[in-house]
Amino acid sequence: MNIIFNLLGALLNHVFNFTGDWGIAVVVLTLIVKVLLMPMSMKQRFSILKQQKVAKKMEDIKIRYKNDKLKMEKEIQNCYKDNLKSMMGCLLTIIQLPIIGGLYKTIINMPVVSGTVLIPWVASIKLSDSYFIVPIMYSIISMLPGLVNSIDYFKVYREVQYNKMSAILPGVIGLLITIKAPIALGLYFITSSVFSLVEEIAFRIYIKNKQFV
């Protein structure tokens, strides 16, 4: 973790030297990390789709061979083998965690007291937003994935039925996380969430066009 922290810290300083603004540097660094992790995150999404297809196949097998236990067990074992392969993609999440953790730690430990043109009403990005604009922005952005899930065109997963609670809860949690957090962290959360949202929408459009499911 320290190696990742030191690398990201050095990269943040280089980005600041180029931009001259710590807030912009945080946004750029977050985007760089997210772009580098994109191949893994996309592979993880494909893995989830494959797991859901295997789960659906297993349900069909149980119905089709309900009167032939031996055949059912054989087919289910084959499904487990397929599922084991697709589950390897979920390990990519674990690989990403140290990198995301290192980025979080880098931003937390920024040795600066200056502000940013992105949030001009706050004197330092180490301070929280007394006007709560950043927390509200992050709260709204946190609820957008739920809205995407409710749109029929974007439904590619076998998702839990959309309801108001599942839509509002991420926004409430997002507000609680950022309401007292430094502006630097707020910029990180917002940038990361917007990138992930765009990435998810692009992935779903790609799947729809390719008729993957």
Listed range (6-20, 45-59, 108-122, 169-183) with the worst mean pLDDT: 45-59
Residue 84: predicted pLDDT: 59
pLDDT single digits (tens) 77-117:
777 666 655 555 556 667 667 877 777 788 878 776 688 99
Listed range (49-53, 134-138, 191-195) with the worst mean pLDDT: 49-53
Higher pLDDT, 108 or 213: 108
Specify the pTM: 0.82
Residue 88: predicted pLDDT: 54
Residues 6 or more apart whose CB falls under 8 angstroms from that of 144 comprise 197
Candidate ranges 25-29, 80-84, 106-110, 165-169; pick with highest mean pLDDT: 25-29
Residue 176: predicted pLDDT: 93
Candidate ranges 49-53, 162-166, 175-179; pick with highest mean pLDDT: 175-179
Q: Which two tokens stand for residue 40?
A: 């893994």
For 153-183, letters b (16+ CB in 10 Å) and e give ebebeeeeeeeeebbeebbeebbebbbebbb
Position 213 confidence tier, pLDDT thresholds 50, 70, 90: very low
Distance, in Å, from the CA atom of 154 to the CA atom of 204, rounded to the nearest integer, reads 6
Residue 138: predicted pLDDT: 95
Distance, in Å, from the CA atom of 128 to the CA atom of 115, rounded to the nearest integer, reads 11
User: Does position 177 have pLDDT exceeding 50, yes or no?
Assistant: yes
Listed range (51-65, 97-111, 117-131, 154-168) with the worst mean pLDDT: 154-168
Give me the residue spans of the domains in the chain. Answer: 2-210
Residue 118: predicted pLDDT: 94
Distance, in Å, from the CA atom of 20 to the CA atom of 17, rounded to the nearest integer, reads 5
End-to-end distance of the chain based on CA atoms, in angstroms? 38
Q: Which amino acid would we find at residue 124?
A: S
